[in-house]
A and B are shown apart, each in its own frame.
Chain A
Amino acid sequence: MSVHTPLVESDAARDLTGLRADFPALAQQVNGHPLIYLDSAATSQKPACVIDAIAEYYRKDNANVHRGVHELSERATRAYEGARDRLQRFIGAPSRREIVFTRGTTDAINLVAQSFVRPRIKPGDEILISGLEHHSNIVPWQLVCEQTGAKLRVATLDDRGDVPLEAVTALLSDRTRILAVSHVSNALGTVNPVREMIAAARDRNVPVLLDGAQALPHMPVDVKALDCDFYALSAHKMFGPTGVGALYGREALLAEMPPYQGGGDMISMVSFEETRYNELPYKFEAGTPNIAGVVGFGRAIEYLEAIGMAAISEYEHALLEYALDVLAEVPGLRFIGRPGHRAGVVSFVLDGIHPHDLGTIVNAEGIAIRTGHHCAMPVMSHFKVPATARASLALYNNREDIRRLASALVRAREVLA
């Protein structure tokens, strides 16, 4: 990674725009225009150091982990386990045994649904989620409900796109077996009051899972300070590769849970009569893992640590405020959701233009935004829109990106006029 000299901007947020040069994919023309990538909530671009780390791993160290005594296997294991240590520190987990590598956030949530909740839930018991959730924090719970006769309860969001704390506390009961909520909403950018929600759940001895996919790229996260029981995350949203993520789980809970999948690496001894499972976290990592992906993930965390999550959060917050101001000036633009506390995402519609057309029209100017329901159809229903356009930010975006989006939106109205 190159060394970045911090500059001081007039709004006091550190200027991180020099970081853009670290991302090779951003230095291209799309449809004859410099690419403006505003779809990082779908997946972030990757810095050269992450791409190089993956390539280097395959060029030099490729071997299976936890098996061989030979040099390459030792190196691969060291790199893989080094990434676990780094992630543990990055999110403030007390022990490396509490970090389980998964395919991503969805996989991590399904693991908790099937291995933690399903065995201990009975007909009539309840699973509590919020109305803001991504489909990946809805459907795994619906599956458990179908399998067990439990009921899914939903804390509804208000007209600003916030989930009021009272909406959660009102539905917490002695029957609630888990509270599963997003830390940050992918559709609206709402930052949930998770500390208060967790405290309320704690009062009733209800375990809490946070879907952190959209939080980690934007703000410091400390699972110990949050006091959550599970935290699910994806590498690809935080400048790492796709197909890798992790589950943080409180050790006492992970220890009691049965394995999620059976296979190699998750066992300590196998015979046809009996199998003993491996210790944590390996009990939950069946099969050869995505080693190169984990190595790349570790490098992405190192990259973020070097910049500092507090600096990233401050820079992005200023950029988000700027985006809200600039976009508010676009004729006919209506924000979908005005949450009190927001990170990374602006959702909107434009009078008379379907979001799908908008996405195609701004793409002609090299601007990438997401259009559709953002895998959060219940959120769309709440705001009575079939879809929205969504601009999502990351540390490599700048004010010029926002200005170009705004002027493309103004011109979009002319295309269909």
Chain B
Amino acid sequence: MDLADLYRDVIVDHNRSPRNFGVLEQADRTAEGFNPLCGDALTVYLELDGDRIRKAGFEGQGCAISVASASLMTEELAGLPIEECRELFARVHNMLTSDEVAEDVTSLGKLAALQGVRAYPSRVKCASLCWHTVMAALDKQSTPVSTE
């Protein structure tokens, strides 16, 4: 078990200095996510421009994996059409959970830094919470997302 495969430099960096961290006052959509097992809680903010995400932000508290995952996600979502956002979610989810050797994760860019999470089943929810929360925001779900 090599910790460096989980806590890659990109993840350590995004945990230490999360990008797009803070409330987006002009957000068109927001949703809350909660992981009752570890107490992680985050709010995701999305500014929309038609069928496109103009800007994404988040705030909350969590472990290094959940903070880094949310930070990386907000960078990837900026400017993305909503439909592509859903596809991206499916690909990230696959990378985090699939037993099979997944598609070429290098096409996921920086998000590929999260591939080490797959070897830690108890930590998959940490990485996927922000994505589930974005889906809830896009679906205008009013109740907070819970991993349990």
Contacts and interface: CB of A to CB of B under 8 A. Distances in A.
6 contacts: A353-B64, A354-B62, A357-B64, A361-B3, A387-B39, A415-B3
Interface in A380-417: 380, 385-387, 415-417
Contacts of A357: 7, 63-65
A415 B39 contact: no
Interface string B124-144: 001000000000000000000
Given A357-B63, A360-B6, A416-B7, A31 B1 contact: yes
B76 interface: no
A364 interface: yes
Interface in A335-367: 353-357, 360-361, 363-364
Contacts of B90: none
B15 interface: yes
A25 to B, nearest CB: 19
Contacts of B7: 357, 361, 415-416
A372 B1 contact: no
Contacts of B41: 386
Interface in B1-37: 1-3, 6-7, 12, 15-16, 36-37
Contacts of B52: none
A139 to B, nearest CB: 14
A106 interface: no
Contacts of A415: 3, 7, 12
A353 B65 CA distance: 11
Contacts of A299: none
- Which 5 pairs, one residue from A and one from B, show the smallest C-beta to C-beta distance? A386-B39, A354-B63, A356-B63, A387-B39, A356-B38
A302 B7 CA distance: 46
B123 interface: yes
Contact of A360 (B15, B16, B39, B123): B123
B40, B64, B120, most chain A CB atoms within 10 A: B64
A361 B3 CA distance: 7
Contacts of B39: 372-373, 377, 380, 385-387
A251 B99 CA distance: 55
B12 A416 contact: yes
B61 interface: yes
Contacts of B65: 356-357
Contact of A371 (B6, B38, B64): B38
Interface of B: 1-3, 6-7, 12, 15-16, 36-41, 61-65, 120, 123, 126
Contacts of A372: 37-39
Contacts of A377: 36, 39
Nearest to B126: A356
Contacts of B15: 416
Contact of B123 (A353, A355, A356, A380): A356
Contacts of A387: 38-39
B113 to A, nearest CB: 14
A391 to B, nearest CB: 17
Contacts of A373: 36, 38-39
Interface in A305-335: none
Given A380-B39, A415-B3, 16 more contacts: A31-B1, A32-B1, A354-B62, A354-B64, A355-B38, A356-B65, A357-B63, A357-B64, A357-B65, A360-B6, A363-B1, A386-B39, A386-B61, A415-B7, A416-B7, A416-B15
A353 B36 CA distance: 18
Contacts of B1: 31-32, 363-364
A209 B108 CA distance: 56
Nearest to A363: B1
Contacts of A364: 1-3
Contacts of A380: 39
Interface in A177-232: none
Nearest to A411: B3
A386 B40 CA distance: 7
Nearest to A385: B39
Nearest to B67: A354
Contacts of A361: 3, 7
